[in-house]
Structure 1
Amino acid sequence: MSRIIFFAITLLSLILGGCSDQNQSLTVDDVLQKFKAAGLEAENPREMTKDDYGLAPMKAKEAKRFFIPSLGENAGGRIFSFDNAADLKQTKEFYDRMGKESAMLFSWTIEKDNILVQINGDLPEEKFKQYKKALENAK
């Protein structure tokens, strides 16, 4: 009897474990596609270099820089994908803290699941809300 219960529990664990793939993490490219599908500027995306990170923590699994031409040359944002919530939180806190210390360093941040988006603070709030909505609707 105990073998049957053990087998049933093992089988149930395997079945439930296989269902976890339905809740996959978002990728940086998924977010870029959602922005573009929403009609938002996310031009010339490229892999981030250490220079793109500046003083920010380099803890992302993947990160891309994108540009918003309407804000001017070299203005845009960053999309980060993380393996764990602690690294995401630390990076988000870095950008949020910088904005509180100096208006010149202000930027918008949005997080969803394993993704953090940081966008130039010169972006008008109404436009920022469109990026936020596009990320919130990403699956």
Structure 2
Amino acid sequence: MKIKLLSATILSTTLLLTACGGNEGKNDAQTEQKQKEVTIDTLIKSFDDKGLSVKDVKKMSHEDFGPAPMKSKEAKQFVVEKDMNARLFYYDNENDLKEMKKYYDQLGKESAMLFSHTYAKGKFLIQANGSIDEKVFKKYTDVMDKEIK
């Protein structure tokens, strides 16, 4: 009788500990996923961490978009060098992202004065002043490639 009671107690304790311990792994995985979530702010921080200029970061207003389509969920701009800016956009919709990239690329084809660098990765688009050196712009796209899966 004592053996059955002892066995039942050990089995119950083991089941209880196993059930309670299983949640920790799930919570850790969920926390890790949230930590890896890429946002405009985490990308800008990654640019800064790599020593790239992100001076005077500001949320873009409708005036900042000018005649460009204003379909991004979020957009921020920052100074890369002197008076040359970059804009970082986040889209929920891939078609809107493609439309915006096409808009900036087409402007550059129509007039050299309106040329700008563009690069899309995941749900993000970066557009930068065309006077910024290609090698400098590539440093930003390299960070995006590492951060966005």
Based on CA coordinates, which of the two structures has the bigger radius of gyration? 2
Tell me the TM-score normalised to structure 2 length: 0.73
Tell me which residue corresponds to 2:147.
138
2:76 is the alignment partner of 1:67: no
Tell me which residue corresponds to 1:15.
none
Tell me the TM-score normalised to structure 1 length: 0.78
Residues 71-115 of structure 1 deviation map (CA, whole Å, 9 limit, x = unaligned): x23x21100000110010000100010011111111101111110
Q: For the residues of structure 1 that align with 2:46 and 2:114, how far apart are their CA atoms?
A: 26
Identity of aligned residues (%): 40
Structure with the bigger RCO (C-alpha within 8 Å, sep 6+) is 1
Please list every run of 5 or more consecutive structure 2 residues that lacks an aligned counterpart in the other structure.
Answer: 1-28
Please list every run of 5 or more consecutive structure 1 residues that lacks an aligned counterpart in the other structure.
Answer: 1-17
Task: Kindly indicate whether the alpha-carbon contact (under 8 Å) linking 1:26 and 1:115 is maintained by their aligned counterparts in 2.
Answer: no
In structure 2, which of residues 68, 80, 88 is the aligned counterpart of residue 79 of structure 1?
88
Tell me which residue corresponds to 1:48.
60
Q: For the residues of structure 2 that align with 1:47 and 1:128, how far apart are their CA atoms?
A: 20
Tell me which residue corresponds to 1:98.
107
Q: For the residues of structure 1 that align with 2:33 and 2:105, how far apart are their CA atoms?
A: 32
Residues 43-75 of structure 1 deviation map (CA, whole Å, 9 limit, x = unaligned): 11111011110111000000011112x3x23x2
Tell me which residue corresponds to 1:35.
47
Task: Kindly indicate whether the alpha-carbon contact (under 8 Å) linking 1:25 and 1:113 is maintained by their aligned counterparts in 2.
Answer: no
For the residue of structure 2 that corresponds to 1:111, the secondary structure is strand
Which contiguous aligned blocks of 4+ residues in structure 1 show a shift greater than 2 angstroms? 21-26
Give the RMSD, CA atoms, in angstroms. 2.1
For the residue of structure 2 that corresponds to 1:137, the secondary structure is helix
Pick the structure with more helix per residue.
Answer: 2
For the residue of structure 2 that corresponds to 1:35, the secondary structure is helix
Deviation at 1:27, TM superposition (A): 1.2
